[in-house]
Amino acid sequence: MGMKRIAVLASGRGSNFQAIIDRVCDGTIPAEFACLITDNPSAYAIKRAEKHDISVSVVSFSDYPDRESYNQALEKAMQESGADLFVLAGYMRLLKPETVRGFAGKMINIHPALLPSFSGLHAQQQALDYGVKIAGCTVHFVDEGMDTGLIILQYPVVVLSDDTEESLAARIMEFEHLSLPLAVKLFCEDRLEVSGRTVIIHDHQDE
Ligand code: GRF
């Protein structure tokens, strides 16, 4: 069994994608990249992929006459990637339930809140508006819901009294860049075991 292959789906800046690139380059993550898939032809994540000779598939919604043909093109790109793991790293489109079902158990997502609190967009602002004292980020398997999949890792982040959406997002982002690569590493080392709604993390491979 060779190295696991990772496909990353990103729509924007790609700093989470970059964190994974850095850990693959330094050998922390025992894997290779299959490709970047993006729905945004101007995503800065594309530049990051090009710098590391990672192939890029642009599957842009506006290139397709309807949702169905867009979804078919996206699924085709995912299947052709031959990836063992699909990482949603700031991918801003919801995947169709049929697509998610086809890749169940090998698709993970990073969300900038402690799920199940504050799912959806502007999670950091939702946390500030609610007045929580602890925010954070969550890496979870993707299921057919929005941000409802089994939780793999969570990191807490203290909310400061003078926090803005930007300052809180920046502090959470530092922990996103730690937690997502770690979750990718654990998956690639076959150290994640699902038991009911709980994801068990094994200290070593083949435990
Ligand atoms: C991250 O905050 C992630 O949690 C959210 O979207 C943002 C993507 O940032 N889903 P980047 O593109 O990885 O820099």
In tens digits, the chain (207 residues) has pLDDT values of: 689 999 999 999 999 999 999 999 999 999 999 999 999 999 999 999 999 999 999 999 999 999 999 999 999 999 999 999 999 999 998 899 999 999 999 999 999 999 999 999 999 999 999 999 999 999 999 999 999 999 999 999 999 999 999 999 999 999 999 999 999 999 999 999 999 999 999 998 777
Ligand 1 centre and the CA of 186: distance in Å?
20
Q: Whose CA is nearest to atom 12 of ligand 1?
A: 14
Query: Which distant-in-sequence residues (6+ apart) come within 8 Å of 8 by Cβ?
Result: 17, 20, 33, 35, 36, 37, 45, 86, 87, 89
- Quickly tell me which residue has 């594309």 as its tokens: 46
pTM above 0.95, yes or no: yes
Ligand 1 atom at minimal distance to the Cα of residue 19? 13
Ligand 1 centre and the CA of 139: distance in Å?
12
pLDDT in tens, 38-57: 999 999 999 999 999 999 99
pLDDT of residue 94: 86
Query: Which distant-in-sequence residues (6+ apart) come within 8 Å of 146 by Cβ?
Result: 94, 119, 120
157 neighbors 134 (Cβ within 8 angstroms): yes
Ligand 1 centre and the CA of 101: distance in Å?
23
136 neighbors 113 (Cβ within 8 angstroms): yes
pLDDT of residue 180: 98
Q: How many C-beta atoms surround the C-beta of residue 161 within 10 A?
A: 5
Write the DSSP symbol of residue 131.
T
73 neighbors 96 (Cβ within 8 angstroms): no
> Which residues' Cβ are closer than 6 Å to ligand 1?
10, 12-16, 89-90, 110-112, 173, 176
32 neighbors 58 (Cβ within 8 angstroms): no
Q: Whose CA is nearest to atom 3 of ligand 1?
A: 90
Which amino acids are annotated catalytic?
111
Q: How many C-beta atoms surround the C-beta of residue 24 within 10 A?
A: 22
Q: Could you give all domains of the chain from N- to C-terminal order, each with its CATH number?
A: 4-206 (3.40.50.170)
pLDDT of residue 1: 65
